[in-house]
Amino acid sequence: MKMFAFHCGGEKTLRSVFDPFDQDCGATIHVPYFFYLIQHPDGNVLFDSGAHPALLDDPRSRLGDAADLYEIVMSPGDDVRSRLDSLGVDPEDIGHVVQSHLHYDHAGGLEFVQGATVYVQREELTFAYWPPVYQRDVYVRQDFDTVSRWKQLRGEHDIFNDGRLVIFPTPGHTPGHQSMLVRLESEAYILAGDAVYDKEKMQARCLPGLLWSPDAIIESWEKIEEMQRRYNARLIVTHDLHWQDTIKLGPQEWYE
């Protein structure tokens, strides 16, 4: 089994998104986007699918007026098709996509992997189609309207029934947020999506600015820490500001 982490652009935003009480909360941070490919003997699995390539030239076409709120920084090639192509993987060979949640910076590639079964927690779909006003701008219906094969989960799910790829709910950022335990030969990892923005902030129990439920995210952090202890797993968070030092970047490098 191999796992690839693909960087696919990012955006500039305020540090307050990570922690509204940070002393430096008005500072600009450059947040990366990522998705991951796991090559399992029984099939290719994506964890998230990056942002839609139209955000590169015409973010308004996807985000509407909310495009003014984000400063998206994408270059040609920062999308799921291009990144898979860099590894010689055809999007048609992706059978499974696990979506941590359906925000635009995670679900924009779904349109390009239409042969795949898409795994979400049931609560996420309802929330994504009818979001409350405070998350209205982070869901783009076009991203997930193209999906024909949903697998709606209620709780944990072991994709290939071998304990290698286990999805588990980590609500808080959104009601249906989920993470995935990836047990490779040499080491275990937890792909945490946006359940955790910043590991130190999690340890200090500092709540992020973009949040559905503080109580749920605290419980999810406890769950993630328990999984880390149980499997001696390392944590990979999508918007890791230190990614250039911490992440093995595909396709040149990988985890196995």
**Of the listed pieces 40-48, 72-80, 103-111, 213-221, which binds Zn ion according to CB under 5 A?**
103-111
Rounded to a whole number of angstroms, the minimum distance from the CB of residue 31 to Zn ion is 8
Cβ atoms within 10 Å of 223's Cβ, excluding its own: 17
Phi, psi (deg, nearest 5) at residue 220: -65, -40
Rounded to a whole number of angstroms, the minimum distance from the CB of residue 163 to Zn ion is 27
CB-based contact 47:191 (threshold 8 Å): yes
Rule CB under 5 A: choose which of 19, 124, 194, 198 binds Zn ion. 194
Closest CA to 99 of 39, 42, 170: 170
Q: Which is nearer to Zn ion, 31 or 89 (CB)?
A: 31
Q: 165-169 and 178-183: which strand pairing?
A: antiparallel
**Of the listed pieces 60-68, 99-107, 131-139, 200-208, which binds Zn ion according to CB under 5 A?**
99-107
Q: What is the dihedral of CA 157, 162, 164, 170, to 10 degrees?
A: 20
**Of the listed pieces 70-78, 91-99, 130-138, 192-200, which binds Zn ion according to CB under 5 A?**
192-200
Number of residues that bind Zn ion (CB under 5 A): 2
Rule CB under 5 A: choose which of 22, 78, 79, 105 binds Zn ion. 105
CB-based contact 211:117 (threshold 8 Å): no
List residues near Zn ion by CB under 5 A: 105, 194
